[in-house]
Amino acid sequence: MLRGFIAKKKAMTSVYDSAGKRIGVTTLLAKPVKVTAIKTVAKDGYQAVQVAFSVKSHQEFLPVSKTLPEINSDLSIDSVFSPGDVISATAKSKGRGFAGVIKRWGFHRQPVTGGQSDRVRAPGSIGAQTPGKVVKGKKMPGHYGNATKTISGLKVISINKESSLIYVSGSVPGAFNSWVTLKK
What confidence tens digit (pLDDT) does each residue in 129-155 have?
888 999 999 999 999 999 999 999 999
CA distance 54 to 110: 50
Q: Which residues pair with 89 in a beta bridge?
A: 151, 182
What per-residue confidence (pLDDT) applies to 64? Answer: 86
What per-residue confidence (pLDDT) applies to 68? Answer: 86
What per-residue confidence (pLDDT) applies to 53? Answer: 84
Q: Are 59 and 51 in contact (CB under 8 A)?
A: yes
pTM confidence score: 0.83
Q: How many beta carbons lie within 10 A of that of residue 64, not counting itself? A: 13
What per-residue confidence (pLDDT) applies to 175? Answer: 94
What confidence tens digit (pLDDT) does each residue in 74-94 have?
999 988 999 999 999 999 999
What per-residue confidence (pLDDT) applies to 32? Answer: 92
Which CATH superfamily includes the segment(s) 4-95+145-183?
A: Translation factors (2.40.30.10)
Given a cut of 50, the residues of the chain with pLDDT beneath it are none
Half-sphere exposure of 60 (CA within 13 A, CB side): 10
Any residues with CB less than 8 A from the CB of 163 and at least 6 apart, and which?
A: none
Instruction: Give Cα separations from 95 to 10, 173, 174 (angstroms).
Output: 18, 11, 9
